[in-house]
Amino acid sequence: MSESTVAVVVTVHGTLDMDGAPLLAARLDEALDRPEPRVVVDVAGVGFCDSIGLSTFVLGHSRARACGGWLRLAGPSEFLERLLDTVGLTRLIGVYPSVADAVADRPG
């Protein structure tokens, strides 16, 4: 298996807002800085996410796709899954019940 086919898992805890989202963006920049990036963002520990956090997911997804890879979200709380669905991101970004499901591409 080549390095480009290995998924990188970025784990997020706490709040994704104007304070927390920049840290996620920095970690995504690192993970996406490779050929055909495959990134799973483990959001199980996210208690709150606002528009800045959502835009971080969208930008990461767009960058991954532009490089021939993907970005997936894993383990969202009921709140976060409802938010992602309400704003239409579940149609754009793969959302999975767990990291293992995201890596194996097994939708929930």
Which residue(s) pair with 41 in the sheet?
Answer: 10, 73
Domain extent listing, the chain:
3-27+35-104
CATH domain 3-27+35-104 topology: Transcription Regulator spoIIAA (3.30.750)
Q: What is the pLDDT of residue 108?
A: 65
Q: Tens digit of pLDDT for each residue in 42-59?
A: 999 999 999 999 999 999
pTM score:
0.92
Low-confidence residues of the chain: pLDDT under 70: 1-5, 107-108
Euclidean distance between CA atoms 99 and 20, whole angstroms:
21
Largest CA distance in the chain: 37
Q: What is the pLDDT of residue 3?
A: 46
